[in-house]
Each structure stands twice: as structure tokens, then as C-alpha cells.
């Protein structure tokens, strides 16, 4: 703005002018505030209104969650007795007393090391998938393929381990089981469905279209009811089929149909030339899909795929409606306990934060991945 050459007094020899900081009104915190908070009268009002809302909401929440909160107590009355006035703060003692229930459900106490081992293995499973510079990634990926099966064996038992019936599974562990299984199996099935849908074999593509549209037209609850009430009718007489297994199949098929649509979007967004180039190179169908088409199509569809995964992960809560006890189910059951009744806010906040951390993490990771794989301009 202020051109120094125009000032009448030459205070500095040419070339010796010191590097002065930019004027306070064009950069720095004050300028930033002028631009972003107080640029017009309307904006000033908005800012004041927003500050007022924050002032109303934030301090009571912080007060309730941290300052007045009680972390150890024997029951609700004891908890409230320790506060300045009853219900002034959160009673986290409740969550703490039920923490093992929230994590393991009703898994037998003596066998919980198996669940803990699975949690450790889960971290080892996620490591090479999420971190592409992980040492020994090539071998660990083989482990990743084996992981769901090893974990299944560890959790259910059999072959040398004490069998644990699946109706004792619950809590965060159940959420992880359904979430990881659904994500792991729905991606390949979804990709296959997408390829089937755009294939030029009419019979095959019709089957895929009917399957995808059918699943997408029906709420997951209805499918879970189907799994819990009528799926056994379709099986040979005398066979019984574990409820958790049926739920896993339904959840996987459900999210596979959504993945299929996302991947189809990616496949259709690819320029025709890519398909033609692959054909011109003399690649077979599977070679061109594996080497040319899918790597690009999947890259475009990453945001959609991760969104579907997040949706699946949140939908695992629906199993409480057919009587399984995920964290939400455990929380509701715990609230029925007379000693702790009335602490719904604590329970719901705890579960909400758990899901938020998982889902927000996933969406942030997908953003990072998108940026990393972005090769355009």
C-alpha cells in the first residue's frame, strides 16, 4: 500500500532498506479477526451471537463433564452425595463400574485374555493396512487376510480352546466383530457385484442389479429381522445357524450392496480409453480388471467406500433391536439397574464419544488417503 518510493524523505540508501513487518491491518491476528470475524456490521452481530451461544453452552458442559464429575462411588446416591448438589456433575463411577461389561459383554472372565489378544492382533492387523511404509508390510498383509479367521477361532473357541457361545459376546468387542467382519468381507463382494453389474453379460448383470436394488431398498432392521426370524426356514431341516453368524452375513451383504454402487460410480467415471487400452494390450478380463481398471476406479471411490464403512460401523448398533448387547444394549441394560438408574446422560455420552472417535478417525484417514493418492493437478 504505502509505496516507499513515493515518500518524500529518503531515510535509507537504495538496497539497505530493512525488512519491516507487514502493516498490522493486513496480516497478523488483528487483521485476521477483522477479516474473519468483524468484516461487516452483520458479521459483528453474528460473531457476538456465536460467542454468546458458546458462553451459554460450553461452561456448563465442561463443569458437568469434568469439574463436578465423580470418578469413584459405590452407587448413584453415593455419587450424588459427593457433589455440591445432586446431579450437578457426571457420575463416571457408573461407567467405571461397568467398564468390563462395556468392553467384553458377558464373555467369561477366565477367557478374557483371548479377547485382549484379539484387540492386540487387531492393532497389528490395522498397522500394515493403514501405514504403507510399515516394515515387512508384504508379509503382514498375508497375516491380515488370515486375521478374521484366527480371531474368530480365538473368540468362539473349539480346536483346543474352551468354546464360548456367541450370545455371551457383547459390548465394544461385538461392535468390533461386526464392524471388522462387515468391512473385511463386504469390499470384495461389493467389487464383484459392481463388476457384475457393468459386465456385458445380460443375465449376470440383471442378477446383480436385482440384488443390489433389493438390498438398498430395504432398511437394515428389516434384514436383521429376516436374519433373526425367518432365515432358518431357508436352511435344510434340522440345521441351526448361530444368530451372530446370520447377523454377520446380513450386515456384510447389506454394506456390499452399497459398496457396489460406490464402486460402480468409480468404474463409470473412468475414461473409456482405459478399458480400450487394456484390451489393446491383449490383457484378459481379469488381468485388465486387476492391473488397470480396479486400481484407478477404487482410488476414485475411496471417499464413498469409507463413508459406507462408517455407515456400517454406526449401523452395528441396530443389533440391539434383535436382542444382542452391543455397547448401547449394555448401556440400556445397565440403566435398568436400580442402583444406577437415571444416569442415562453419562451412558449415552460415553457411547457417543466411543463411536465419534472411531468414525471421525475413519473419515480423517480417508481424507488423508485421498490427498496422498491424488495424482492430478
Partner 1 sequence: MNSTPATTAPPVDTSGNVITRLWRHEESRSVIIQIVTMVVLFALLALAARNVAINLEAIGKEFSFDFLWSTAAYDITFSPFIEYTSRDTHMRAMWVGIGNTLLVAVCGIILASILGFLMGVMRLSKNWLVSRIVYCVIEFTRNVPVLLHILLIHGVIVTTLPPPKQAIPLGEHFFISNRGFFVPAPVFEEGFWLVVMAFIAAIVAIVFFKRWAKKVQDATGKIYPVFWISLGLLVGFTGLMFLLTGMPLSWDFPVLKGFNYKGGMALRPEFLALWLALSYYTASFIAEIVRGGIISVSHGQTEAARALGLRQNRVLQLVVVPQALRVIIPPLASQYLNLTKNSSLAIAIGYMDVVATIGGISLMQTGKEMETMSIVIVIYLIFSLTISAIMNWFNRRMKLVAR
- Residues near partner 1 (CB under 8 A): 36-37, 39, 43, 46-47, 50-51, 53-54, 200-204, 207, 214, 216-222, 225-226, 229-230, 232-237, 310, 314-318, 320-321, 328, 332, 342, 344, 348, 351-352, 355-356, 359-360, 363
Task: Select 184 or 354, whichever has its Cβ closest to partner 1.
Answer: 354
Secondary structure of residue 70 in the 3-state scheme: strand
CA distances from 229 to 2, 225, 240 (A): 79, 6, 12
- If the CB atoms of residues 149 and 233 are measured against partner 1, the closer one turns out to be 233
Q: Say if CB 186 and CB 256 are below 8 A apart.
A: yes
Q: 3-class DSSP state for residue 161?
A: strand
Shortest distance, position 110 Cβ to partner 1, whole Å: 32
> 48: how many CB neighbours lie within 10 A of its CB?
12
Please say which residue, 82 or 205, places its beta carbon nearer to partner 1: 205
Cα 374 → chain centroid? 22
**Which of residues 164 and 208 has its CB atom nearest to partner 1 in the complex?**
208
Compute the distance between CA of residue 250 and CA of residue 315 in angstroms, rounded to an integer: 12
CB of 14 to partner 1, least distance (A): 40
Nearest approach in angstroms of CB 35 to partner 1 is: 8
If the CB atoms of residues 218 and 291 are measured against partner 1, the closer one turns out to be: 218
Q: How far apart are CA 154 and CA 120, in angstroms?
A: 12
Residues contacting residue 24 through CB under 8 Å, at least 6 positions apart: 30, 31
Q: Answer for the pair 300, 68: CB distance below 8 angstroms, yes or no.
A: no
Buried b (16+ CB within 10 A) or exposed e, 75-104: bbeebbebbeeeeebbbbbbbebbeebbbb
- Long-range contacts of range 127-130, CB-CB < 8 Å, 24 or more positions apart? 130/365
The CB-of-334 to partner 1 minimum distance in angstroms stands at 13
Q: Decide: 79 and 96 in contact? Cβ < 8 Å.
A: no
Q: How far is the CB of 195 from partner 1 (least distance, A)?
A: 13
Q: Give CA–CA dist 328/175, Å, rounded.
A: 10
Nearer to partner 1, 113 or 214 (CB): 214
**Which C-beta is closer to partner 1: that of 35 or that of 165?**
35
Cell numbers placing 265: 460410480
Instruction: Rank residues 293 and 312 by Cβ distance to partner 1 and give the closer one.
Output: 312
Nearer to partner 1, 235 or 373 (CB): 235
Angle, helices 243-269/202-217, rounded to nearest 10 degrees: 120
Distance CA 123, CA 142 (A): 15
Amino acid at each position: 500500500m504505502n509505496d516507499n518510493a513515493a515518500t518524500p524523505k529518503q531515510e535509507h540508501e537504495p538496497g539497505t532498506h530493512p525488512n519491516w513487518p507487514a502493516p498490522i491491518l493486513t496480516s497478523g491476528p488483528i487483521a485476521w479477526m477483522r477479516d474473519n470475524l468483524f468484516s461487516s456490521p452483520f458479521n459483528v452481530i453474528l460473531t457476538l451471537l456465536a460467542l454468546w451461544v458458546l458462553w451459554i453452552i460450553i461452561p456448563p458442559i465442561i463443569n458437568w463433564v469434568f469439574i463436578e464429575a465423580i470418578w469413584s462411588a459405590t452407587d448413584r446416591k453415593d455419587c450424588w452425595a459427593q457433589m455440591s448438589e445432586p446431579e450437578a456433575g457426571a457420575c463416571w463411577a457408573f461407567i467405571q463400574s461397568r467398564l468390563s461389561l462395556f468392553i467384553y459383554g458377558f464373555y467369561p472372565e477366565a477367557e478374557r485374555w483371548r479377547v485382549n489378544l484379539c484387540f492386540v492382533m487387531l492393532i497389528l492387523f490395522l498397522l500394515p493396512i493403514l501405514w504403507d511404509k510399515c516394515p515387512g508390510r508384504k508379509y503382514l498383509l498375508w497375516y491380515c487376510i488370515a486375521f478374521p479367521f484366527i480371531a474368530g477361532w480365538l473368540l468362539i473357541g473349539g480346536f483346543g480352546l474352551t468354546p464360548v457361545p456367541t450370545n455371551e459376546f457383547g459390548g465394544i468387542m461385538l461392535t468390533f466383530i461386526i464392524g471388522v467382519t462387515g468391512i473385511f468381507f463386504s469390499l470384495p463382494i461389493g467389487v464383484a457385484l459392481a463388476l457384475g453389474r457393468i459386465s456385458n453379460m445380460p443375465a449376470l448383470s440383471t442378477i446383480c442389479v436385482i440384488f443390489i436394488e433389493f438390498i438398498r431398498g430395504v432398511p437394515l432392521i428389516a434384514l436383521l429381522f429376516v436374519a433373526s426370524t425367518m432365515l432358518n426356514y431357508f436352511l435344510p431341516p434340522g440345521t441351526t445357524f448361530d444368530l451372530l453368524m446370520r447377523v454377520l452375513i446380513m450386515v456384510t451383504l447389506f454394506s456390499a450392496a452399497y459398496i457396489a454402487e460406490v464402486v460402480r460410480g468409480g468404474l463409470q467415471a473412468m475414461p473409456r480409453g482405459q478399458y480400450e487400452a487394456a484390451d489393446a494390450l491383449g490383457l484378459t478380463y481379469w488381468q485388465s480388471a486387476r492391473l488397470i481398471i480396479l486400481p484407478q476406479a477404487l482410488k476414485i471411490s475411496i471417499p464413498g467406500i469409507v463413508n459406507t464403512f462408517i455407515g456400517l460401523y454406526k449401523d452395528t448398533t441396530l443389533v440391539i433391536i434383535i436382542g444382542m448387547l452391543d455397547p448401547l444394549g449394555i448401556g440400556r441394560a445397565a440403566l435398568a439397574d436400580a442402583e444406577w438408574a437415571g444416569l442415562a446422560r453419562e451412558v449415552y455420552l460415553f457411547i457417543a464419544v466411543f463411536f465419534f472417535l472411531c468414525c471421525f478417525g475413519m473419515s480423517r484417514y480417508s481424507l488423508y488417503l485421498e490427498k496422498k493418492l491424488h495424482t492430478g493437478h
